[in-house]
Amino acid sequence: MQFNKSDLPKIKECADYIRYLSLMSVEYANSGHPGLPLGCAEIGTILYNYFLKINPEMPGWINRDRFILSAGHGSMFLYSLLYLAGYKFTLQDLADFRQMGSITPGHPEYNIDMGIETTTGPLGQGFANAVGLAIKGKMLAARFNKPGFDIFNYRVFTLMGDGCNMEGLSSEAASIAGHLGLDNLIAIYDSNNITIDGSTDITFTENVALRYEAQGWQTAVCDISDIEDFYQKLAALSAVSGKPKLLVVKTIIGQGLDKSRGSHEIHGAPAGVSEIAYFIQNSCMKKIYGKEYPDEINDREKLSAILGKLVKEKAPLKDNTSVTDFFQQAMKKNSQSYHAWTELFSAYSSKFPKEHDQLLNSMSFSIPERLAKDLINFKVDKADATRNIAGKILELCCAQIPQIIGGSADLVGSTRATVKGSVYINKNDFSGRNIAFGVRENAMGSIGNGLSLGGMLIPFTSTFFTFFDYMKPAVRLAALMKLKHLFIFTHDSIYVGEDGPTHQPVEHLNSLRLIPDLLTFRPGNAMETAFSFLYFFENMEGPAVILGSRQKLDQAVFNLTGDRGVFYENFKKGAYIVYETERTTKPDIIFAGSGSELSLALESAKIIETQDKRNVRVVSIPCLELFHKAGDEYKTLLLGDRFTPMVFTEAASHRALKLFYRKNMMIADIEDFGLSGPAHLVGKRFGFTPDAIAENARQLLKET
Ligand SMILES: Cc1ncc(C[n+]2csc(CCOP(=O)(O)OP(=O)(O)O)c2C)c(N)n1
């Protein structure tokens, strides 16, 4: 929609209504972060009404502009705007903020249908995701656009705060964004000089705009008290080409309140009814409350009492048709860009049928049959390091899956993770499939997540396993969002050798295994390496890690003979029998391991077999999580009953497990991420109550 000076009173009214929705929802929940929504309400109003090319009726429109609230704690800002824009939020959903089972959890959770482009909350992540989405926009444009047919030209807007800018992640991500000249990326910096512990005077005094300038960004500074200036600067920045853009906006946290305005106290706590009463008396909401409570509206104490009652009752939030109408009008106008796009796309489909088909194919991925067969039958003549083998398999996959793109943090030479035969993307040409992330693991992980958001591309990112520590937040978020993102980590154990302990991952393997909804594959031969890729591409919606060894593995486990189809069926259950003295349900001892220790298991088993004349069994466990899911029957089939001795060998720390290990054991733990709601209810939901634990203990006593 076109901005007009005469809109200013309406913009103020919208902003006040956003303030009202945020204040009341936080008050109802008795928890949340009202400071940001209050300070940024005008920013949101301008963005959604005058800038974003979106169509809430078609939330998944592939060329929609993206908006990411990187400062995810301000979630009520986003929910209020999405409600007003016409996404599937109701006033009741807002009133249910942070409650069990609501669609308005504490921090925004990835859901494109609801207008939430990514999960945010860990500061800086949303910004780096935005960089990934901007790179993706450029890559899609390079693949599919034709002269006169800009099928992809979406822009990515993100709102970040002091916290996001303090995080090192934002510096890494901004650096690569500047290097790549991502002019489809526009960051708005909510510069209110307040974080949780107080003023940024005690922590953060650098010139952020200059920092971004130095990283190749175009920047401008404004104050939100001059709304028109904000609009003009944002419009001018948006039009700049060749560089990403940062608009530093001076705001006041808690704007509209009396005592807590400008204070860190309003960052993350309910304002309280007296402050809300002050806000209502001094804002556009006065009209609405004044009609209902004409005698009390000018009396702060009386109005507070009324609000107190409404909060206690969780009364329905007040509707404001004047504001919703304004938003709807804007959305109608903005949806013209959607309709123009659909016409363009329809013309594109007849003029460029091949590209059109490719585009549709990339939206609904399934592994090519031929590739699945190639991977089932994949063989190498000689034993090798699994990182080398993984490199070859990736090459095979890339040749048949055009959506694969990715890169490494300056370690391609070692990890072998590259798209052979393709070039690196650069500022002027995004048609390549390789991304040189530079030595920026932190940003690489989160940018990789951004590349995966919404599908169409399948990213891989790669580094030494020990440096996964630098990417951990992104791996966790990929699992939480179920993003199809392949992490290839090599040099997977102490066998790194000369580089020493700084480069030897020890605790990493089991820390990956603790992340819900993530699969970690540690293949011990070429077949298992190929199967790991196959499983990821064939079966997984979410992320996986494939670990590669630096060192050459043993020939003995490299050429297992048998039916590949049967091997794969068992591999899908996470573990399988590699060797048995004889087929029996009761071997004398079982040897198990993964990766490079598979051959160790086999060798030690053979010694016991020949020297001690024992019946042995060797089990490979390339994916512990799949094995865990395969069920007790399959576990017993492979590992015997609990009286069967077992030696499990893995060059990684298992200390946390060993501490509690007993023959008959029980672990009460949490196998999920948790969910939004009052703490005691969440605890109960996951069985963390004395009764639930006691019941488990009772069961265990019965069995032993
Ligand atoms: C990585 C990370 N560290 C810490 C936090 C906890 N946290 C949430 S908000 C916040 C302060 C953010 O300040 P700012 O961005 O200025 O937000 P504002 O106070 O303006 O709402 C912190 C430390 C977090 N969410 N993520």
Task: Indicate the pairing of strand 486-490 with strand 194-195.
Answer: unpaired
Residues linked to residue 551 through DSSP beta bridges, in sequence order:
none
What is the pLDDT confidence band of residue 588, given thresholds at 50, 70 and 90? confident
| Pairwise CA distance, residues 657 & 510, whole Å | 10
Q: How far is the CA of 123 from the centre of ligand 1 (A)?
A: 6
DSSP per-residue string spanning 30-41: T-S--HHHHHHH
Dihedrals phi, psi of 30, to nearest 5 degrees: 60, 25
Are 289 and 277 a contacting pair, CB within 8 Å? no
For ligand 1, the distance from its centroid to the CA atom of residue 58, given in whole angstroms, is 32
Confirm whether 582 is a catalytic residue. Answer: no
106 CA distance to ligand 1 middle (Å): 13
What spacing in Å lies between the alpha carbon of 366 and ligand 1's midpoint? 39
Cα(671) to centroid(ligand 1), Å: 27
The answer, yes or no, to whether residue 670 has pLDDT greater than 70, is no
Please compute the mean of the pLDDT values over residues 323-347 and round it to a whole number.
Answer: 95
CA angle 640, 646, 649 (to 5 degrees): 130
Give residue ranges with CB within 6 A of ligand 1.
33, 35-36, 71, 73-74, 121-123, 161-164, 167, 190, 192, 194-196, 253, 267
Handedness of CA 384, 385, 386, 391 (dihedral sign): negative
What pLDDT sits at residue 223?
98
Interval 206-252: pLDDT, tens: 999 999 999 999 999 999 999 999 999 999 999 999 999 999 999 99
Per-residue pLDDT band at 591 (split at 50, 70, 90): confident
Nearest residue (CA) to ligand 1, atom 18: 195
Nearest CA to ligand 1 atom 19: 195
Task: Give the confidence band of 690 by pLDDT, cuts at 50, 70, 90.
Answer: low
Alpha carbon 231 to chain centroid, angstroms: 30
Label residue 97 by pLDDT band (50, 70, 90): very high
Residue owning the nearest CA to atom 9 of ligand 1: 73
508-565: pLDDT as tens digits = 999 999 999 999 999 999 999 999 999 999 998 999 999 999 999 888 888 788 999 9
Q: Determine what percent of the chain is predicted with pLDDT higher than 90.
A: 82
* Domains of the chain, earliest start first: 5-332 (3.40.50.970), 369-568 (3.40.50.970), 665-704 (no CATH)
CB 199 within 8 A of CB 193: yes
For the chain, the average pLDDT equals 94
The residue whose CA is least distant from atom 8 of ligand 1 is 73
Ligand 1, residue 160: give the atom nearest the CA.
15
- Ligand 1 atom at minimum distance from 192 CA: 20
Predicted confidence (pLDDT) at residue 21 exceeds the cutoff of 60: yes
Exposed, middle or buried, 38 (CB in 10 Å: 0-12/13-18/19+)?
Answer: buried
Q: Which of 68, 48, 47 is nearest to 56 (CA)?
A: 48
**What band does 499 get if pLDDT is binned at 50, 70 and 90?**
confident
What tens digit of pLDDT does each residue of 130-187 get? 999 999 999 999 999 999 999 999 999 999 999 999 999 999 999 999 999 999 999 9
pLDDT at 434: 98
Hey, whose CA ends up nearest to atom 26 of ligand 1? 122
Amino acid at 225: S
* Coil/strand/helix, residue 70: coil
Residue 671 has pLDDT above 70, yes or no: no
The token duo for 534 is 């196959």
Q: Which tens digits make up the pLDDT trace of 556-584?
A: 888 788 999 999 999 999 999 999 999 88
**Cβ atoms within 10 A of the Cβ of 317, count?**
19
Report whether pLDDT(129) > 70.
yes
Question: What is the pLDDT at residue 519?
Answer: 98
Q: Would you say residue 640 has pLDDT above 90?
A: no
pLDDT digits (tens, 9 = 90+) for 38-82: 999 999 999 999 999 999 999 999 999 999 999 999 999 999 999
Mean pLDDT check: name the lowest of 87-91, 159-163, 662-666: 662-666
Atom number of ligand 1 nearest to Cα 39: 20
Q: Is 672's pLDDT higher than 80? A: no
pLDDT over 70 (residue 693): no
Out of 159, 195, 197, 204, give the residue to mutate to test ligand 1, the one with the largest number of ligand atoms within 8 Å of its CB.
195
Distance between CA atoms of residues 704 and 699, nearest Å: 9
> Which atom of ligand 1 has the smallest separation from the CA of 473?
1
User: In the structure, what pLDDT confidence band is assigned to residue 617 with cuts at 50, 70 and 90?
Assistant: very high
* Ligand 1 mean position, distance from CA 169 (Å): 14
Asked if pLDDT for residue 20 goes beyond 80, the answer is yes
Tens digits of per-residue pLDDT, 462-493? 999 999 999 999 999 999 999 999 999 999 98
The ligand 1 atom nearest the CA atom of 161: 15
pLDDT digits (tens, 9 = 90+) for 289-310: 999 999 999 999 999 999 999 9
Atom of ligand 1 nearest to the CA of 74: 21
DSSP one-letter string for 546-608: EEE-SSB--GGGTS--S-HHHHHHHHTTT-EEEEESS--S--SEEEEE-TTHHHHHHHHHHHH
- Which member of 172, 441, 597, 609 is catalytic? 441
Contact of 43 with 249, CB cutoff 8 Å? yes
Q: What is the pLDDT of residue 1?
A: 82
Per-residue pLDDT, 152 = 98
Q: Can you give the pLDDT at residue 676?
A: 78
**Residue whose CA is closest, atom 13 of ligand 1?**
195
Q: What is the percent of the chain with per-residue pLDDT over 70, rounded to a whole number?
A: 95
- CA dist 602 and 591 (Å) reads 7
CA 471 to centroid of ligand 1, rounded, Å:
19
More confident residue, 604 or 200: 200
